Amino acid sequence: EMEDKVSSTLSGLEGELKGTFYPLTGMSKETQQQLIDDHFLFKEGDRFLQAANACRFWPSGRGIYHNENKTFL
């Protein structure tokens, strides 16, 4: 539910902030690897996420957003 609210809110952004929301659930391996290579997405099993208990329900309800210029995440 929260992911849907965030996604719909972000899809309404315009101008410089207009971009794309990528839900982690169902993300293609190619998109996932590109976001990791761009340093926008952590690799699965990241020790820092594990230490912060941030991957407890990973990847359910998680996603990443960036604008078209990749200057706003």
> How many whole angstroms separate alpha carbon 42 and alpha carbon 1?
23
> How many whole angstroms separate alpha carbon 65 and alpha carbon 20?
6
Query: Binding site, residues?
Result: 39
Q: Break the chain down into helix, strand, coil percent, rounded to 5.
A: 35, 15, 50
pLDDT at 50: 82
Report whether pLDDT(43) > 80: no
Tokens of 63: 């996603």
Q: Looking at this protein, which amino acid is placed at residue 9? A: T
Confidence of residue 1 (pLDDT cuts 50, 70, 90): confident
pTM above 0.85, yes or no: no
Query: Binding site for ATP, residues?
Result: 39
Give tens-digit pLDDT for 44-62: 777 887 888 877 777 788 8
